Amino acid sequence: MIFTSDNAHIVSPEILKAIAAANEGTVSSYGADQLTQRLGEVLGGLFGREVAAFPVMTGTAANALALATVTPSYGAIFCHAEAHVQSSEFGAPEFFSGAKLVTIEGADGRMTGQGLADMLELFPANDVHYVKPATVTITQSTEMGTLYRPAEISQIKAVADTRSLAFHMDGARFANAMAALDCSAAAITCDAGVDVLSFGATKNGAMAAEVVIFFDPRHAEEFAYRRKRGGHLVSKMRFVSAQLLAYLEDDLWLRNARHANAMATRLAEGLANLSGVTLIYAVEANEIFIRLPRRIIAALEALGAQFYDWPMSGDGPEVGTVRLVTSFATQAREVEQFLKCAAHIG
């Protein structure tokens, strides 16, 4: 009953197999190998256009380097107040970019076009006293386990265009969004105006593999320099690209994500039936936030369930909020056991 985080889980056997298969012969290092070249082609196919794709090994690196590439050091990056780049990356986006994060509130972990527009009004054009609006970043699926639909993204894009903002998507859980949405990968990224995507794989079955995708190749050269300068250019790159290829081939990424999402849906449905348990957000991907009596939290932990406390306003001495995350490796019996325990305690 481990629901702490998707990165507590193993590597998909298919991906491990691909790593082993790549361990043959000498190849050029630093990405000048055939697997890395093929990765670019596969991603080009997925998004229906030529892309510039750069593998890295952590999600923080992907986000921070992507944002630094499209944001000048004197710029503002607009993000949701709960965004991972703001809350969980230890200032890496600021460190790599020099820019300032400006947070925007928004229900259910989502920024809206209107919310962005309202914030931009506080930034007069050509004002030298505050940072210059430069970039907007959203997370898909969000930190709250909710989703942006194409129309919502397009609305943000329309506002971003009024100030020529670059548009970044943190897709650490992009697969979970794609598995839930009924649209193409292009429809919620490049077609909706996203300029650069951090496409995650580690949380959904890879070992350590993310890929930054620029839909506009203009930034590619700069990213390459920044990746190297950040110590994020892996020498034996073939082994990162091999992970990503296996992830994409045969739709492993979608299969893994569909399973994780299904486990979350089942868990949410079961919990919703229990008295005293409140779902905080709609469960649209693989994360569940519930408020429940603290005595139940303690009892579940005593029975071996693992998850994170997620303190929120509305909690009190009697009730607290926790986050449950499911993964491709979460087993149906774990979910049922958890529900049974919760029901029993309740």
Q: How far is the CB of 105 from its own copies (least distance, A)?
A: 13
Q: Which of 37, 87, 162, 273 binds its own copies (CB under 8 A)?
A: 87
Q: Does 64 bind its own copies (CB under 8 A)?
A: yes
- For residue 2, give the DSSP letter: B
Told to check if 133 binds its own copies by CB under 8 A, we report: no
Which amino acid belongs to residue 53? A
Closest residue by Cα to residue 83 from 72, 94, 74: 94
* Distance between CA atoms of residues 101 and 168, nearest Å: 13
Candidate list 104, 329, 341, 342; residue touching its own copies; CB under 8 A: 329
In 3D space, the residue among 237, 122, 223, 241 whose CA is nearest the CA of residue 166 turns out to be 223
Q: Select the residue interacting with its own copies from 80, 203, 259, 291 (CB under 8 A).
A: 203
Please identify which residue in 168, 219, 226, 323 interacts with its own copies, judged by CB under 8 A. Answer: 226
Kindly state whether residue 147 participates in binding its own copies, applying the rule CB under 8 A.
no
Return left, alpha or beta for 324; rule: phi > 0 is left, psi -120 to 50 is alpha, else beta.
Answer: beta
Pair of tokens at residue 246: 């296996």
Choose, by CB under 8 A, the member of 92, 169, 257, 277 that binds its own copies.
92
Tell me the per-residue interface mask from 286 to 305 with its own copies, x by CB under 8 A, - otherwise: --------------------
CB of 202 to its own copies, least distance (A): 6
Within residues 257-286, the interface with its own copies by CB under 8 A covers none
Residues between 152 and 181 with contacts to its own copies, criterion CB under 8 A = none
- 130 binds its own copies per the rule CB under 8 A: yes
Closest of 142, 167, 188 to residue 280, by C-alpha: 142
Applying CB under 8 A, among 23, 34, 114, 162 the residue interacting with its own copies is: 23
Residues 93-122, interacting with its own copies (CB under 8 A)? 94-96, 98-100, 121-122
Instruction: Choose between 222 and 251: whose C-beta lies nearer to its own copies.
Output: 222
Nearer to its own copies, 124 or 182 (CB): 124
Q: How far is CA 104 from its chain centroid?
A: 18
Q: Exposed (0-12), middle (13-18) or buried (19+): which is 335, by Cβ within 10 Å?
A: buried
Nearer to its own copies, 121 or 182 (CB): 121
Q: Taking the complex as a whole, how short is the minimal distance between the CB of residue 186 and its own copies, in angstroms?
A: 27
- Report the residue from 182, 235, 275, 316 that binds its own copies according to the rule CB under 8 A: 235
Contact range with its own copies by CB under 8 A, out of 47-55, 57-65, 143-151, 190-198: 57-65
Q: Which one, 240 or 246, has the nearer CB to its own copies?
A: 240
Alpha helix ranges (H) inside 48-149: 59-70, 84-87, 92-97, 113-120
At 309, list the tokens: 């406390």
Is residue 344 part of the contact set for its own copies (CB under 8 A)? no
Minimum separation from the CB atom of position 251 to its own copies (A): 21
313 within 8 A of 341, measured Cβ to Cβ: no
Q: Is the bond leading into 141 cis (omega within 30 degrees of zero)?
A: yes
Residue 284 backbone phi and psi in degrees, to 5: -110, -15
HEC secondary structure over 250-312: HHHHHHHHHHHHHHHHHHHHHHHCCCCCEECCCCCCCEEEEEEEHHHHHHHHHCCCECEECCC
Q: Note whether 217 binds its own copies by CB under 8 A.
A: no
